[in-house]
Structure 1
Amino acid sequence: MLKKNRLMMTALFLTFVMILSACGGGNNNTNTPAEATKAPDAGNATNAPDNGATDGAIDTSKEVKLKMIFVGPKPVDYDVVFAEINKKLKEKINATVEGEFLDWSDWAQKYPLKLAANEDFDLIYSANWAGYNDQALKGGFLELTEEMLTKYMPQTWAAMPKVSWDQTKVNGKVYMVPQNRGESVEKLILYREDLRKKYDLPEINSPETYATYLKAIAQNEKGVAPFTPETGDWKYHNLDRVLLKQQQEWNMFDLDLPFAFKLADDKGQVFNVYETQEFKDLLVYYKDLADNNAWSKNVLNSKNDHQADFKAGKTASITHNNGTLGALMALMRQENSPYEVALADINQGKKKSIAISTQNGTSIHATSKNVERSLMFIDLMQNDKEFHDLMMYGVSGVHYEPVGDDKYKATDKNPNYTGFSNWNFNSPLNRDNEAFPQEASDLVKGWESNVYHYALETFVFDNSKVKTEIANVGNVMLRYAIPLEYGVIKDIDKALEDLNKQLDSAGIDKIQAEMQAQIDAFLAKQ
C-alpha cells in the first residue's frame, strides 16, 4: 500500500492522447487571455514572403491552395465543413485549404517523418507535447519574424499577449502561432458512477480510493476493463501525471525526459524522477493494480481508443484534462447514455496551473511556398468569428446551434465533426457547449481562482547541445520505463536499477547538467 505522502505516480507515456490532449487539450475551458501587448521581436526574416504588391497592400491576385497537417482522425463531415471554409476563404484571401489527418494510433510516428521527409505542405498543428522545440531546432518550422506577424496577422498581433509569444521562443526565435486562450491541463479521472454505487464503494477522492474502485471492477464486472490508457507514443501516461506530477506538485520540462522540479522551488533544482522514493512507491502501487487486473494484460500493445471504449461501456475509467472529459460527458448525456458518469479529482487542495501557450499552436513548414497566405489563414481562423465558428464547431444548423455569442448547443450530427486538433485556433471567440457539465465548470472555476504561477513558467530548454543523449535516453525510457509503469515486471528493485543503469550509459547526467545550467542562467535574469 502506498503511503499517503508518497503515493503518487510518474512517468510513462506509451501511446495516448487526447487528446490531449496530449496531451492535449479540451476547448471547453473558460480561462481568458491576459491583456494583449506588443509581441517581442522574433528576429530577422530569413524566408520573408514577397507579396508582389507595389503599394504596400498584400497581393492576393494569384489563387493559392494551402495544405495543413492535423493530428487526430479525419472528421466524418470534413468535406461538408471544409467546403464552406474554402468558399469563404476564396472570397476573403483567394485561397483554399486541404487538411491531412494523422490518426491518434500512429500520429507520433508519422508526424516527425512528415517534417524529416520534407513533404510538400504549408501548415502543421504543433504543440509542446508533439515535440515543438525539437522540430523547431531541426529546421522543420519556419521562423516567424515580427515583420511577418504584423503584416500578415494584424488581428493576432493585436490580440495575443506578449507572454504567449515569449513562451513560443526557441533560441530566441518564434516558430509557432500559439493558441490565444488559456486552458487547464490538470488531469482528472472520468469513471462509471453507476458501478461505484452498485458495489457501494467509497467516494473516489484519493489514490487509495481509486485503487479500491479499480480492483472492485476487475473482480466483479467481467468484460469491462477497469482502466484504459490513452493511446499514443507517450513515455508517461496520463495516470502518471495524476498520481505523481500533480500529487507531488512537481512539473516536468519535457515529458520525453525523466526530469522534474518542485513547483515551489524558486531555485529550480532539477532531479531525475526515476531516482526518487516517490517514483518507487508509485511502481509498487502500479504493480499491485496490474496484479489485480486493473488494466489489460495487453496494455503495452493496445491501440484502443480510450474515449470510445468508455462511451461504449467497455472500460470503467479513463484519464484526461477537464475540457476533454467534460465534453465526453456532455456527449454521453446528449445521447442518453445508459451509464451514469462522474469526474474525480484525487489531487484536491494541490497547486493547479494552466498550460503554457505552446500547448496548442500552428507552425509554417520551413519549405512552404505560401507563407503569407498561410499566416493570413491562421489570422482569420483565430479572429474572424464566422471562420472560427466553422473551424471549431462545424456548420451552424447542422453540427451545432449558436446560443448567444459565446455558447452553442450540439446537434445529433456534432460527433461527425470532432476529435481532431483544431485547438490550435483556440481564441477569445471560443464558444462553450451549453451542455458542458456543471461539475466540470465548477472545477475549472475553482482552479482559476487560485492558479499557481511558478518561477520557471516561461522557461524553454534548448536541447541543441545534447540531442544525441536525449535520443538515447528516450529509447531507454520506452524500453525499460514503460513496462515498470504498467507493473508488468516481477522485481521492481532490479528493474528500477536496470533502468537507471541504462540511463547513465545513455548520458542522462550530461542532459541534467545542461538543463540546470540553462535554468540557473534563466533565473539569474529574472
Structure 2
Amino acid sequence: MSKKKKAWLGTSTVLAFSMLASACSGGNGNNAASGSPSASATATSSASASASPTASASASAIDTSEHVKLKMVLVGPKAPDTDEVYAEVNKILTEKINAELEVRFLDWGEMNQKYPLLFAANEDFDMAFTSSWAFYNPTARKDGFLELTEDLLKTYAPNTWANQDPVGWDQAKIDGKIYMVPQDAFESGSAVAMVRGDLREKYNIPELKTQADFVNYVKTIAKNEKGIVAYNGPPTTLNGSGSALLFLDLEKRWVHGSAPLVYDMNSESPQLINYLEDPASLAKIDTMYDMAQAGVWPKDAIVAKTDWHAAFKEGKMAADAGNILTASATMEAMNLAHPEWKVEVYDLSPDAKRFQDPLINNGVGIHATSKHPERALMALDLLRYDRELFELTTYGIKGKHWEPVGEDRYKVLPGSTGYTPDGVCPWGWRTELVRTLDGPAGDLLQSFYKKWKENNIIHSPLETFALDDANIKNELAALANVQKTYLLPIYFGLVKPSEGIPEVIEKMKQAGLDKVQAEMQKQLDAYVASHKA
C-alpha cells in the first residue's frame, strides 16, 4: 500500500495564556483534555483507513510465541471502567500478537512533575503518550525515546508506515531522526467555552459572542447563584491550557510556555515581544483580577485539587472550557443526563485566525529501554488501524458506553460516565477511523471545524517550529519558577496586576529573559529563512 498524499493544513496550536499553556488541551485539558489536554481534539470522521491491519511479509514471520505484558503510560484521569475496557482490548491483542497492555495514567495535576521522572529514573515501561505539548522534544533529545527507523516501522508497524501522512514524520524529526508515531487526523485545539444555557436564560443574558460576554455570564452567576462555582479560573500547571485560553489573543503565539514572549502569527518576519509589556495583554490580566474579586472562582483555586471538568459535568460549576471535540462530547453527555441544563458551546474569538494542530500534537513514543520495543510497535499499529481495538480504546464498550450510528458516527450511552468516549487518552493513536458524535453535539463539532477550515485556519513557516532549548535550559527553568512564584498569583487575583507585574518583569530579567529572547529570535529568524529558500 502506498503512502497517502494528503493536503495538510498543518501547524502548531500550542495555544496558551502565558506560561500556563504550551498547549493543550487537551489535554485536557487542558489540556486536555482536557483533554486535551489535551487534554486533545480531532475532527474528520472519514473511515477510509483499513478496518483491520494487513501485515507485511516480514511482519507475518515475526516470532510472537512468548506472551508479553506491555506497559503503557497515558495522561489524564483514569476512568472508572478503564480496567474493564482494557480487559477486552487484551483479549484481542493476545489473539493477534500474544501481548497485553498494562496502562498507567498520570493525572493532569501530576503530569508535569512525574512524566520527566519516568525517564530520568529509567522506570520499566514500553511506551508513552507524547506530543508537542507533552515533553516530546526534551524527552527525545535526552534519549528517552527509541529512534524509529524506516526498517523498524515497515517491519513492525506496516499499516502505520503505509498510511501515515508524510508530513507527520517530518514534524516528528529531531535532528533528522524520528522518535514518535504521530496521530493522523485533523485537529484544531482552539479552546471554546461551555456554559449552562438554563442559567444564562434565567438571568436574561444574551447568547455569548465575545470574551466580554463570557465574563458577564460568570460574574452574574457568581453574584446570584450560591452553592455553585461560576468558573475555575486559570490552570495551575505550566502545560495547562484550559480556561485561560478564553482570554488569549489567538493571533499571538508563544514559543515556550516558560517565557512570556509572543509573536504575531500573521507576520512574515515575526518579532518577539514581551506580552507583560503589551497593553492589550495587561488589560486581559486586569479582567481576570476583576473576575477573582467578583468571586468567580474560589479563593483557594490556585491550590485546589478539584477536577473542574468533572465539577462542570456534575452541575457544580457553571462554565468550563476545552477543545471543540471535548466540548461536544461533554455537551452530549450532560444533555443526556440533565437536558434541563441546556449546555451551550461558544467560540469567543470567532474572527481570530488560528493554526491547525501539528500531527505531533498527539502521538506515542517507545521507551528507549523498552524490553519489547518491536511488540510495542505491533500493538500500536493495531490500536491505530484495527477497527475493533481503535473503537474499544477510543469509545469504550459497545452497547455500554457508546453505540455506532452508521459507518462514521456514534452515540453516547448513559454508561459513558464510566468511560467517556474519546476522553480516556486514546489521542496518541488517532487516525481516520475516528467517528463523529451523532446528533446536535456532533453537528456542532462539524460546523465549528467547517467554519474554521474555511475562514480561520492560516499557514505560516512557523507552523511546525520547535524550539531547541539546549543553550537556554537553565534560564527557562528559572523563568518557569518566576512565573509560578510571582505571576500565577496575579492570574488568580491574589495580587493586583499593576502592583505585581513590574516585579515579575524585573525577576524575569534577573532570570535571563534577555538571553532567552535573543536565542528564540535567532532560531525563529533562521527557521523562517530556511523555509523561504
Offset, 1:489? 0.6
Distance 1:217 1:370, change over 3 A: same
User: How far apart are the structure 2 equivalents of 1:360 and 1:410?
Assistant: 23
Distance 1:371 1:510, change over 3 A: same
User: How far apart are the structure 1 equivalents of 2:281 and 2:338?
Assistant: 40
User: How far apart are the structure 2 equivalents of 1:461 and 1:112?
Assistant: 18
What are the residue-to-residue correspondences of 1:401-420 with 2, within 5 Å? 401-418=403-420, 419-420=423-424
Equivalent residue, structure 1, for 2:9: none
What are the residue-to-residue correspondences of 1:87-166 with 2, within 5 Å? 87-166=91-170
Distance 1:134 1:458, change over 3 A: same
Residue type at the aligned position of 1:10: F
Q: Per-residue CA shift, 1:14-50, capped at 9, x if unaligned?
A: 9953213343145462277999xxxxxxxxxxxxxxx
Residue type at the aligned position of 2:242: N
Q: Partner of 2:321: helix, strand, or coil?
A: strand
Equivalent residue, structure 2, for 1:463: 469
User: How far apart are the structure 1 equivalents of 2:390 and 2:285?
Assistant: 44
User: How far apart are the structure 2 equivalents of 1:306 and 1:377?
Assistant: 33
Equivalent residue, structure 2, for 1:256: 258
Pick which of 118-127 and 405-414 moved more.
405-414
Equivalent residue, structure 2, for 1:50: none
Unaligned residue ranges in structure 2 (runs of 5+)? 1-14, 22-28, 50-56
Q: Determine if contact 2:332/2:412 at 8 Å carries over to the other structure.
A: no
User: How far apart are the structure 2 equivalents of 1:355 and 1:309?
Assistant: 28
Equivalent residue, structure 1, for 2:394: 392
Distance 1:204 1:455, change over 3 A: same
Offset, 1:54? 10
Equivalent residue, structure 1, for 2:528: 523
Distance 1:273 1:207, change over 3 A: same
Q: Determine if contact 2:157/2:377 at 8 Å carries over to the other structure.
A: yes
Pick which of 237-246 and 331-340 moved more.
237-246
Equivalent residue, structure 1, for 2:198: 194
Distance 1:398 1:240, change over 3 A: closer
Q: Partner of 2:494: helix, strand, or coil?
A: coil
Alignment of 1:347 onto 2:349: yes
Offset, 1:94? 1.7
TM-score normalised to structure 1 length: 0.89
User: How far apart are the structure 2 equivalents of 1:390 and 1:148?
Assistant: 26
Alignment of 1:290 onto 2:284: no
Q: Partner of 1:319: helix, strand, or coil?
A: strand
Distance 1:464 1:436, change over 3 A: farther
Alignment of 1:370 onto 2:372: yes
For residue 212 of structure 1, the aligned residue among 200, 211, 216 is 216
Pick which of 19-28 and 94-103 moved more.
19-28
Residue type at the aligned position of 2:194: L
Distance 1:155 1:146, change over 3 A: same
User: How far apart are the structure 1 equivalents of 2:176 and 2:486?
Assistant: 35
Q: Determine if contact 1:235/1:478 at 8 Å carries over to the other structure.
A: no
Offset, 1:183? 0.9
Offset, 1:59? 2.4
Offset, 1:229? 4.1
Residue type at the aligned position of 1:495: G
Q: Partner of 1:520: helix, strand, or coil?
A: helix
Q: Partner of 2:94: helix, strand, or coil?
A: helix
Alignment of 1:445 onto 2:450: yes
Offset, 1:55? 11
Alignment of 1:203 onto 2:207: yes
Equivalent pairs, count: 499
Q: Determine if contact 1:226/1:317 at 8 Å carries over to the other structure.
A: yes
For residue 336 of structure 2, the aligned residue among 334, 337, 340 is 334
Offset, 1:412? 2.2
Distance 1:121 1:340, change over 3 A: same
Residue type at the aligned position of 1:469: E
Residue type at the aligned position of 1:389: E
What are the residue-to-residue correspondences of 1:162-181 with 2, within 5 Å? 162-181=166-185
Residue type at the aligned position of 1:13: L
Q: Per-residue CA shift, 1:385-424, capped at 9, x if unaligned?
A: 1221121122223322222221222222222123421111
User: How far apart are the structure 2 equivalents of 1:79 and 1:31?
Assistant: 27
Q: Per-residue CA shift, 1:444-488, capped at 9, x if unaligned?
A: 221122321222001111111211111111111111111122222
Q: Determine if contact 1:69/1:100 at 8 Å carries over to the other structure.
A: yes
Residue type at the aligned position of 2:18: A
What percentage of aligned pairs have identical amino acids?
37
Q: Per-residue CA shift, 1:326-369, capped at 9, x if unaligned?
A: 10000011223431211122212111322111221111111111
Distance 1:32 1:245, change over 3 A: farther
TM-score normalised to structure 2 length: 0.88
Q: Partner of 1:268: helix, strand, or coil?
A: coil
Alignment RMSD, CA only? 2.5
Alignment of 1:30 onto 2:37: no
Offset, 1:318? 1.1
Unaligned residue ranges in structure 1 (runs of 5+)? 1-7, 36-52
Residue type at the aligned position of 2:506: K
User: How far apart are the structure 2 equivalents of 1:193 and 1:268?
Assistant: 40
